[in-house]
Structure 1
Amino acid sequence: MGTVTLGVSIAVPEPYGSLLQERRAAFGDPAAHGIPTHVTLLPPTGIDAGLLPAVEAHLASVAASVQPFPMRLAGTGTFRPLSPVVFVKVVEGASACAWLQKRVRDASGPLVRELQFPYHPHVTVAHGITEEGMDRAYEELSTYAAEWSCESFALYEQGADGVWRKLCDYAFGGGAAGEVPPQGLPHDAPALH
């Protein structure tokens, strides 16, 4: 069956997603139109295509275990000089994203993998472009802000053309009524109801 490259992320909703994607393109990032605006939960990961049903079942289970939570973006940050990235910061919902990405990569599921860098939820607005373009992105979006209720994440597949295409959305909230939340969740992580 071969392998496929998958990613799991929280989409930045409209009108914010298109605006940030257009800005990313305007800063000179040629990948902007092939990557929907998002917060990564699982970076590009190659798996055997035969595992796709198990991946889908695992992600449905993870999504069912959480409730919607507030997400807020504000200001910019950068990973330079370690990595040529400028991003919009996740200032509310970051702990929930960190909790979710651990569940997505859990050792009991089909998406186990080590991360190259410690997990840091963010929305990339410039990657691998000129220093001038990176500086421009950092400065021009420094006052950017957006907020919404995060109600799902999605599974994406990267095509041979480098474009990421959504395979499935996974809505939050399938937990049973009266279920006790897992212990040790960060204070702004999603709670079960």
Structure 2
Amino acid sequence: MEYTLGVVIPVPQPHRDALRAWRQEFGGAATEPIAPHITLVSGSYLNTWEKAAAQVRQVASGMKPFTIELGAARTFRPASDVVYLPLLSGADQCWALHRQLLGDALRHESGFAYHPHLTIAQNVPAQQLDAAQAGLAQVQMAFEADQVQLFDTRGGEWNLSEDIALG
């Protein structure tokens, strides 16, 4: 049986609550159960769960904590109905983590090229996407990325499996 794992950078407080409120306002109920995060990898894994998790731990141990700064809302439209906050700083480190995570134990299958960002709204009516982009045109926030979170889909839903410190 094939499972999917996710590796994300969680957003710490106090920004988590503000982002969660924006996601709920503009992204609707579908964003509610998912805490604000920056995805590093979301895909299926090969071999065993332990081998995939060990690879995530090894990659995380080699990356020092770094600062992520989020900026004004942008959109992927017309390619994809998504409004997101771009990384003004920290994108290079996210790219490095993404590339290192895609080693032998992890397989990545995506219809889109990797682009570090924080999703605010997706797959909602155009007026909600427009409102999100306009309403978050002045956003600027920064936080320290000092851990990644490892999720699995065993059991059919996303489950937090492990918090892994960087460095």
Answer whether TM exceeds 0.5 for this pair: yes
Contact 2:27 / 2:128 at 8 angstroms: preserved in 1?
Answer: yes
Q: SS in structure 1 opposite 2:151?
A: strand
Report the equivalent of 2:85. 88
> Which runs of 5 or more residues in structure 2 are unaligned?
none
Amino acid at match of 1:137: A
**CA–CA distance in 1 between the matches of 2:109 and 2:2?**
18
Q: Shift of residue 116 of structure 1?
A: 2.1
Any residues of structure 2 matched to 1:1-193 within 5 Å, and which?
2-43=1-42, 45-47=43-45, 51-106=48-103, 109-158=104-153, 162=157, 164-173=158-167
Query: In structure 2, what is the Cα distance between the partners aligned to 1:59 and 1:87?
Result: 25
Conserved 8 A contact 2:81-2:122: yes
Secondary structure of residue in 2 paired with 1:75: coil
Cα distance in structure 2, aligned partners of 1:118 and 1:161: 25
For the aligned residues, what is the CA RMSD?
Answer: 1.8
How far apart, in 1, do the equivalents of 2:86 and 2:76 lie?
11
Contact 1:10 1:38 in 2 (8 A): yes
The letter for the 2-side match of 1:46 is S
Counterpart CA distance in 2 for 1:82 and 1:160 is 32
TM-score, structure 2 as length reference? 0.91
Residues 157/33 of structure 1: CA separation in 2 closer, same or farther (3 Å cut) = farther
Find the aligned partners of 2:40 and 2:115 in 1 and give their Cα distance: 10
* Partner amino acid, structure 1, of 2:89: E
Q: Structure 1 160/134 Cα, relative in aligned 2: closer, same or farther at 3 Å?
A: farther
Cα 1:160/1:135, change in 2 over 3 Å: farther
The aligned residue for residue 180 of structure 1 is none
Q: Which one-letter code corresponds to 2:64 in the other structure?
A: Q
The percentage of aligned residue pairs carrying the same residue is 31
Give, in whole Å, the separation in 2 of the partners of 1:16 and 1:165: 22
User: What is the rounded CA distance, in whole Å, between the counterparts of 1:129 and 1:64 in structure 2?
Assistant: 38
The SS at the match of 1:31 is helix
Change beyond 3 A, Cα 1:54–1:150: same
Bigger mean CA deviation after superposition, 27-36 or 55-64: 27-36
- What is the rounded CA distance, in whole Å, between the counterparts of 1:96 and 1:158 in structure 2? 26
Q: CA deviation at 1:160?
A: 5.8
